[in-house]
Chains A and B, each alone.
Chain A
Amino acid sequence: MLNTFNSFILQNFASWYVWVVAAFVLVCLLLAVWPAAGRLELGAVGDKPEFTNFSWFSMMFGAGIGVGMLTWAVAEPVYHFNNNPEVIQGLAGAAAADNIRNAYKWSFLHWGLSAWACYAIVGLSLAYFSYRRSLPLTVRSGLTPLFGKAMSGPLGHVVDVVAVVATILGVAQTLGFGVEQFVAGMSRIGIGEWLMNEEGTSSSTGIIVAIVVIMSASTLSALSGVGKGIKWLSNINMVLSIALLGFFLIFGSTVFGLQALVLGVWDYLIALPEMSLRVWRADATETGDALAGWQGAWTVFYWAWWVAFAPFVGVFLARISKGRTIREFVLGAMIVPALMCFVWFTWAGGTAIDLELNGAANGVISAAPDGDKIFAMTEFMLSPLLGWLMAVMIVILLMTYLVTSADSAVLIVNTINAAGDEGPKARPHIIFWGGGAGCGGGRAAAGRRPEGDPDRDGDRCAAVLAGDAADVHRADQGDLSRHDAREGRHPDACRGPGRWPAGRAGARVIPG
């Protein structure tokens, strides 16, 4: 059923996703550069930022991307190195040296300005209406220019319910994907063979134990509030992330990574308008169908996933950004995180590509499941003891990213339910939402089917559905009318040809 819904959405709304996200980028950048808008403070006169720049950025980055970086910084460039629209069109060779720049161009599209603009547009609108117009810090407030006082009533309730459901589904997806990588990591550091099954994927017991550990920690952190648990975990995240990045910078393919970064950013910026607006339609030709399928499986899926996260991340960004100017907000919520993603992709992912390209790794990294690639790479690069220590650090980082995603999501869901108020006694409700996200994540992780099963990607479909529900009022917040372009069919977009190779033990998530 999910596959059917998802196919319908991708057939009819792929262009909607592509163009709306492009509009988000444009609106955010325009607001930042427009002199009168850029210097507007998201707060009353005299309001000072609540958090230091480091904590502010750490919390944003942890909530917005987090665990997805550890998987996809290595995995995605490798995927696109093997297949991307240029390869499909015969313009570049798969896994050839001339395809490296294309690999990064497409990776940067999915993790760059477009991704962060989805969060920034929501965060901006909610921060503006909450702090400058004294409206409740909840999603419906962003739609008051369109619907006025009607947002107090049933229409507003529907908006907030959609936001809550999209948030929990989005976080469940992140947990579902991230927990597999977490279990694989724990298995690597020797926690126990019971974590994995005979096929080399996470066992149900391992998934359940991991979910319980992560959601317990998340719930405890959520109960302590933004100023304590979330802030400190986010700071730990950032320190460990910088340390891991530093490792790749010093011991990885530094020159290769630097070249990939400079050339990648250049290629990305030059191609951004075209990549942001191009919609491939299935036209019954092999190339056309392959391009449409690729875009559905990668770009549209990512946009849907970012958009599904946008209510939660947007409210969270608004919550922690009081006192910042719009220009500061766009810089901190959009441009700096995008650059950080680019650095991760080029140094961590670049090291992987370089090791495979020069034959040193001999396929060890490429053959590893998505969630295991970073472990395979560090194990290859280091001695057994140092490789083990590095794996421990990555597992801790995975856990803190998953915990911060879940706890900030739970806190924000509670804030929306309380009409923007953080104050009410929320303990039993926090526990419910923590359990709900955990159960959803466990279902997503444990429900993975073997390669070839038509329902294998049902959980990816759920992410697309959550994104579609959230996207409708996201576009309204940007004062855009809804496109209703007719699209060709993307019969395999949900299954994503080439997206999930055999032996995948973990895959992608975000911003959380």
Chain B
Amino acid sequence: MALKAPLTKLPIRTADSGFYKGFSQHVTIPSKILIGLLVI
């Protein structure tokens, strides 16, 4: 059985502009909300 070729690209969408430019909003915003709630 042939092995699958290893993955060499994993595109993660990041914001093109604005306050979160260069960041993944799907990760950054939930993280900030969770940390804020935990601290409070």
Contact = CB atoms under 8 A, between A and B. Distances in A.
Interface in B1-40: 6-14, 19, 21-24, 26-28, 30-32, 34-36, 38-39
A443 interface: yes
Interface string A410-426: 00010011111101111
Given A157-B24, A157-B26, A424-B21, A417 B35 contact: no
A419 B12 contact: yes
Contacts of A440: 35, 38-39
B31 A418 contact: no
Contacts of A224: none
B3 to A, nearest CB: 11
B27 A425 contact: no
Nearest to A465: B38
A108 B8 CA distance: 40
Residue of A157, A426, A429, A462 contacting most chain B CB atoms (<10 Å): A157
A128 to B, nearest CB: 10
Interface in A129-174: 133-136, 138, 140-141, 144-145, 148-149, 151-152, 154, 156-157, 160-161, 164-165, 168-169
A417 B39 CA distance: 19
Contact of B10 (A136, A165, A416): A136
B38 A417 contact: no
A145 B24 CA distance: 22
A94 to B, nearest CB: 38
Contacts of A164: 27, 31, 35
A425 B38 contact: no
Nearest to A440: B39
A428 interface: yes
B38 A169 contact: yes
Contact of A436 (B11, B14, B39): B39
Contact of A152 (B10, B19, B34): B10
B9 A165 contact: no
Contacts of B7: 133, 135, 144-145, 148-149
A141 B10 contact: yes
A169 to B, nearest CB: 7
A443 B40 CA distance: 9
A443 B22 contact: no
Contact of A168 (B6, B13, B14, B35): B35
B24 A160 contact: yes
A256 interface: no
A373 B26 CA distance: 45
Interface of B: 6-14, 19, 21-24, 26-28, 30-32, 34-36, 38-39
Q: Which 9 A-B pairs have the closest CB atoms?
A: A424-B22, A419-B12, A164-B31, A157-B26, A417-B28, A160-B27, A439-B39, A436-B35, A135-B10
Interface of A: 133-136, 138, 140-141, 144-145, 148-149, 151-152, 154, 156-157, 160-161, 164-165, 168-169, 413, 416-421, 423-426, 428-429, 432, 436, 439-440, 443, 462
10 contacts: A135-B7, A157-B30, A160-B24, A164-B31, A418-B22, A418-B24, A419-B27, A426-B22, A429-B23, A439-B39
